Amino acid sequence: MSKSNLFENFESGSAKAWKQKIQFELQGKDFNDHLVWNSIEGIDVKPFYHSEAYSKAPDIQHNASDWNIGHSIYVNSVEKSNTHALKLIESGVESLHFTLPTVSISVEELLKNIDTSSVPIYFEPLCLSEKLIKSLQDFSLKNKTSFYILQDPIGHLARSGNWHENLKTDLHTLKQTIALGDTLKSVISVDLGLFQNAGGSMIQQLAYTLAHANEYLNLFDDESIKSVVFKVSVGGNYFFEIAKLQALRVLWYSLTKDYGLSIDCHILTQPSRRNKTIYDYNINMLRTTTECMSAILGSSDTIINMPYDHLYHKDNDFGNRLSRNQLLILKKESYFDAVSNPTEGAYYIETLTHQLAQKSLDLFKDIEKQGGFLKLLKEGMVQRKLKEHAQKEQRLYDEGTEGLLGTHFQQNALDTMKSDLEIYPFIKQLARKTLLEPIIPRRISEELEQKRLKDE
């Protein structure tokens, strides 16, 4: 039997025929009540999807085969950080993310013996600095590099409630660094993860991120912005998270096309903290595995996994090795880098991508009509909307509609954590003067965990 005749004996089923068959099997029960899931995102998920939904398939640009295994290093000591980085590369890490608490570092010493031509490197300074950009630029002129600088003064304002210095100085410094860093891959980043970890819906995450990035496009429209790094956090809603990442690329391409620009959308992804727990902590490995899978299939450029004990242990080799091995197994043993377009033709994911993109675009347009992201942030509108959705989601867990395994259901009564806490796993409150209310990330299980700790 030839391959061309393989399906000749099978009738093609229309969407109408499928639904009629389902209605028959339901024996009079309501289709929508029993089989349509009303998601918290405001998107109704149907029990099946069909090609008839499209006049043509959505054009989604993605490449899920070209992704890097990343690892974060906080640079307290340049020498120790360099030694650590070299060991990580030997163990399979393909990309490095350095957090810089000070800009007074030697780039040459930090990157000593690292093959910067094959290892993409992200630098996240905790302050804006023309000096740092010049140092990295000088290094790039002498060596082949892929350097991404994660500078986001508006994101810093949203997170902390204050500018680094002030509005005028911060944006002037950023403008100068754009001009200085012409050999760097990117000098601007936008943190979608802040909205995700604060409890925002996916539509809010995408719309606020787009509006946030649009502020930079409006401020630096004459500057040479080659790429923007989007820092994304992914949660446990597997297919929705894949669609969220794909929708981000669709929206960014649409926005920059309207400006007549060609600016790369570079995605740096890590698992969310929002659904992680300190009790039954090994389940965090299951959560981060599926979240990393979503990140890969959604076409992230670099993925930095979160150790299972990240919430309550100091940085340690064991937790880091396990988190690294999760990505290595996905890449080297599960072949998650073998197919460039694994979700193409999956009508469910393509439909979700289109719906998320459209709803986010509508919200983005509304934000722009009201004056833009920065204006609404200063007025407290962004914070208020994020809180409203976070509270709505929290109620689903508190009422038992949703739940985290080992925390909201199937608790291990013998599980104790008080003696294992090396770092404080909850929100830290520090009274200080701010220009505006900061956006505060909050985990779903915090209140319940605090009660359990008290009762131990």
Each residue of 312-365: pLDDT tens digit?
A: 999 999 999 999 999 999 999 999 999 888 888 889 999 999 999 999 999 999
Band the pLDDT of 120: cuts 50, 70, 90: very high
Q: What is the mean pLDDT of residues 72-77?
A: 97
**Residue 252, both tokens:** 């960014």
| Per-residue pLDDT, 182 | 85
Cα→Cα distances 88→69, 83, 405, Å: 10, 9, 32
Please report the pLDDT score of residue 9 as a whole number: 73
Residues 6+ apart with CB under 8 A from 91: 321, 324
- In terms of Cα–Cα distance, which of 183, 199, 191, 131 is closest to 159? 191
Question: Do β-strands 68-74 and 302-304 pair in parallel, antiparallel, or remain unpaired?
Answer: parallel
Give the total residue count for the chain. 456
What's the pLDDT at 5?
A: 63
Cα separation, 436 vs 84, whole angstroms:
38
Q: Check whether 2 has a pLDDT greater than 90.
A: no
pTM for the structure as a whole = 0.95
Tell me which of 61-70, 94-103, 296-305 is least confident: 61-70
Q: What is the mean pLDDT of the chain?
A: 93
For the segment 259-288, the average pLDDT, to the nearest whole number, is: 96
The stretch 267-292 carries a mean pLDDT of 98
Report residue 3's pLDDT band, with 50, 70 and 90 as the boundaries. Answer: low
**Torsion sign across C-alpha atoms 364, 368, 369, 373:** positive
Q: How far is CA 50 from CA 252, 349, 350, 428, in A?
A: 27, 12, 11, 48
Could you tell me which of 358, 163, 362 has the C-alpha nearest to residue 250? 358
Which pLDDT belongs to residue 82?
98
The residue whose two tokens read 């508190």 is 398
pLDDT value at residue 1 = 44
pLDDT on residue 223: 66
Residues near 430 by beta carbon (within 8 Å), at least 6 away in sequence: none
pLDDT at position 407 is: 93
Nearest-angstrom CA–CA distance, 336 and 297: 8
Is the pLDDT at 59 greater than 80? The verdict is no
Q: State the virtual CA torsion across 234, 239, 245, 250 in degrees, nearest 10.
A: -160
User: What is the arithmetic mean of pLDDT over 430-453?
Assistant: 95
Model pLDDT, residue 146: 95
- How far apart are alpha carbons 368 and 357 in whole angstroms? 16
* Stretch 233-253: mean pLDDT: 97
Question: Quick check: 222 pLDDT over 80?
Answer: no
For 171-184, what is the mean pLDDT?
Answer: 91
**pLDDT at position 53:** 75
Distance CA 116, CA 131 (A): 20
The predicted model gives 392-413 an average pLDDT of 94
Share above pLDDT 70 across residues of the chain, in percent, rounded to a whole number: 96
The Cα 271–Cα 274 span in angstroms is 9
CB 352 within 8 A of CB 243: yes
Q: Is the pLDDT of residue 456 over 80?
A: yes
The sign one gets for the Cα dihedral 194, 251, 394, 407 is negative
